[in-house]
Chain A
Amino acid sequence: KAGVTQTPRYLIKTRGQQVTLSCSPISGHRSVSWYQQTPGQGLQFLFEYFSETQRNKGNFPGRFSGRQFSNSRSEMNVSTLELGDSALYLCASSSTDGTDTQYFGPGTRLTVL
């Protein structure tokens, strides 16, 4: 099976812009989670989607949003970018078969100038 894919892999934006990141889960996986990874804070949970519904949400401002499509692909959007949003954004998919094991994609490296 193909792994989790994320596009784009690298992105450079300026303050105030918005950005959309995409994630395609492992085939058959219906849960998609998003994480932000920074050197200072480590990996932090953003939100999780299952069957197009957001089930869990982390402690991030409303500028961070996401959605999931009927084919389980997911997007996350960050509006009004700030310098502090520079990070590696990781997507993880889970099989929801009881093991709940999450498999990560390679991430999107976002740089905000």
Chain B
Amino acid sequence: QKEVEQDPGPLSVPEGAIVSLNCTYSNSAFQYFMWYRQYSRKGPELLMYTYSSGNKEDGRFTAQVDKSSKYISLFIRDSQPSDSATYLCATQSGGSNYKLTFGKGTLLTVNP
């Protein structure tokens, strides 16, 4: 079993839709949770960063972490064609361990 599982999609939605992206993880040591967005031929760009369980909102983006079920979610409201990209979840155990463990990414297309 991979440490972080993510449905690769692809996911195609109409403009304005609410998008839900999800990951599960298996290692209870993970304390930090991130979502990165990666456009084609670019490096990953940090979208959201959360510590432990709870919700975090930033504009149209909401990240949720449920440590009891080892479940990570990213919601995108009022999706735009510019949101079309690959979304990667990532986890980190923290301390002096800077290793990020990534899901394989979900390819999202928002159609105008």
Contacts and interface: CB of A to CB of B under 8 A. Distances in A.
Closest 7 pairs (CB-CB, A-B): A104-B43, A42-B104, A43-B102, A48-B98, A45-B99, A106-B43, A104-B44
Nearest to A39: B104
Interface residues of B, number: 24
Nearest to A90: B43
7 contacts: A33-B100, A42-B103, A44-B102, A55-B98, A101-B49, A104-B43, A104-B46
B96 interface: yes
A50 B98 CA distance: 10
B88 A43 contact: yes
Interface of A: 4, 31, 33, 35, 42-45, 48, 50, 55-56, 58, 90, 92, 94, 99-107, 109
Given A99-B49, A104-B44, 17 more contacts: A33-B99, A33-B100, A42-B88, A42-B102, A42-B104, A42-B105, A43-B88, A45-B100, A58-B99, A90-B44, A100-B92, A101-B34, A101-B49, A104-B36, A104-B45, A106-B42, A107-B43
Nearest to B90: A43
B24 to A, nearest CB: 15
Contacts of B104: 42
B52 to A, nearest CB: 14
A56 B43 contact: no
Main secondary structure of the interface of B (DSSP, over half): strand
A58 B97 CA distance: 11
Interface in B34-71: 34, 36, 41-46, 49
A102 B32 CA distance: 12
B94 interface: yes
A105 B43 contact: yes
Contacts of B98: 31, 33, 48, 50, 55-56, 94, 100, 102
Nearest to A48: B98
